[in-house]
């Protein structure tokens, strides 16, 4: 199995950096041994991310590439380079702790927005956990795609940081495992990233991690709490604007919306939709989530289908709110939807801006109105940023007003401009914010 972690463990290395200059196409490689025996629960008490933890040993350039090739990683590294190149990423930082069986991979997209921002953090993006048995190529692809989306999301939200994503590879992490959480806090601070909960990393994890670093938001103990509520509000406003644009009606009454995933974001979105008069078709592999919705909104028009059936149901609107990559070329022809507006990240199955635009055109050719997700699922990011910047003075009302302007008014303007210019809403969105990133 292709795994950088195996190479690093065998060679007693702790950090691998793959750096990329997208303007010149050049790559740089360096690997280091930064620590030996460390009690990670003591992070930011006995030592900080700037503390020398052991005599640093380093290897780089052609020598490092030769070593990885000896482990059969040549094709693997070339594949990762191609992914980085295709998305115009700045690279990845790969921290590995073999003793604890955890890898912390920081996927870096753009940092242009952070130039001279007077902050420690230069990028922002969530933490997502993957199981050790998953394909590392797919894990890194996921992280890079999410990092790229975060650059655009931060730009759309006028947040002065670039985009990144952290993918952690480990067994499930108990909130009482202070060594693993202390280690993640150390890596986070080294990456100069602001983060928050994503799949496999809960608000409760953020609460504990927040005792080690101030660069994590979205915990239950935070001033604004979990970010799913704010994110769902933005998606609801965008969906309502899309319905108004396509169908010419201000109300959602009589509109059937298929919601894929009723976790934190999907559950909150479902509440908004039901209160606005929409009928729902929902799907989620977690039966407890389904039961919660049915119990909470007893007597409302809510149909439940199996997860794979959600793509072919008869609904005017589809709202993906779970995993990414669900809009594939093969599925588009089977869709019965007229609008797709959802809260999931990276809904298009693509690895670059160009591939996303191609899929968005195929959707438009099928008569489906679609807007790229980073234009409207940014409520959580706005909430996390407000909590980080304002601390105890953070206000949800401040966040709510920003969401209404960016996700509601912004969606309406984007749809109208796209129509005037003969572009898909996704192309229009890229055209609007891209100059802020590159």
The residues annotated as belonging to the active site are 165
Look at residues 438, 428, 432 and name the one whose alpha carbon lies nearest to residue 357.
428
Q: Which residues contact 300 (CB under 8 A, 6 or more apart)?
A: 274, 280
- Angle at 207 (CA atoms; ends 206, 210), nearest 5 degrees: 80
Distance CA 24, CA 145 (A): 21
Query: How many C-beta atoms lie closer than 10 Å to residue 369's C-beta?
Result: 22
CB 31 within 8 A of CB 8: yes
Look at residues 206, 198, 221, 170 and name the one whose alpha carbon lies nearest to residue 391.
221
CB 2 within 8 A of CB 73: yes
Pairing relationship of beta strands 339-340 and 317-320 according to DSSP bridges: parallel
Residue 194 burial by CB count (10 A; 0-12/13-18/19+): exposed, middle or buried? buried
């Amino acid at each position: 199995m292709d795994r950088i972690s195996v190479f690093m463990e065998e060679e007693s290395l702790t950090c691998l950096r793959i750096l990329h200059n997208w303007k010149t196409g050049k790559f740089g490689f360096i690997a280091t041994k930064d620590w030996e025996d460390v009690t990670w629960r003591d992070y930011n008490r006995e030592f900080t991310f700037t503390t020398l933890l052991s005599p640093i040993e380093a290897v780089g350039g052609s020598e490092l590439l030769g070593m990885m090739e000896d482990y059969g990683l040549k094709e693997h590294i070339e594949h990762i380079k191609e992914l980085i190149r295709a998305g115009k990423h700045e690279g990845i930082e790969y921290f590995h702790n073999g003793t604890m069986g955890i890898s912390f991979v920081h996927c870096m997209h753009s940092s242009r927005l952070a130039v001279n921002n007077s902050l420690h953090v230069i990028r922002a993006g969530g933490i997502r956990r993957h199981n050790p048995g998953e394909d590392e190529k797919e894990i890194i692809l996921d992280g890079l795609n999410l990092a790229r989306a975060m650059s655009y999301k931060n730009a759309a939200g006028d947040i002065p940081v670039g985009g990144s994503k952290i993918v952690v590879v480990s067994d499930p992490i108990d909130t009482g495992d202070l060594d693993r959480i202390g280690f993640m806090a150390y890596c986070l601070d080294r990456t100069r990233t602001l983060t928050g909960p994503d799949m496999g990393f809960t608000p409760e994890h953020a609460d504990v991690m927040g005792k080690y670093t101030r660069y994590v938001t979205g915990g239950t103990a935070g001033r604004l709490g979990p970010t799913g509520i704010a994110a769902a509000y933005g998606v609801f406003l965008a969906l309502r604007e899309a319905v108004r644009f396509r169908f010419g009606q201000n109300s959602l009454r009589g509109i059937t919306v298929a919601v894929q995933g009723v976790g934190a974001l999907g559950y909150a979105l479902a509440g908004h939709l039901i209160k606005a008069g929409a009928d729902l078709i929902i799907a989620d592999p977690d039966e407890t989530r389904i039961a919660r919705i049915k119990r909470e909104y007893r007597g409302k028009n809510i149909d439940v289908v199996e997860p794979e059936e959600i793509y072919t149901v008869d609904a005017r609107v589809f709202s993906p709110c779970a995993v990414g990559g669900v809009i594939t070329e093969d599925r588009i022809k089977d869709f019965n939807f007229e609008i797709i507006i959802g809260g999931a990240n990276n809904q298009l199955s693509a690895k670059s801006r160009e591939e996303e635009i191609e899929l968005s055109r195929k959707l438009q050719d099928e008569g489906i109105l679609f807007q790229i997700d980073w234009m409207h699922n940014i409520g959580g990011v706005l909430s996390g940023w407000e909590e980080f910047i304002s601390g105890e003075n953070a206000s949800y009302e401040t966040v709510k007003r920003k969401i209404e302007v960016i996700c509601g008014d912004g969606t309406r303007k984007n749809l109208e401009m796209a129509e005037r210019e003969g572009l898909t809403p996704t192309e229009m969105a890229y055209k609007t914010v891209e100059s802020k990133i590159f």
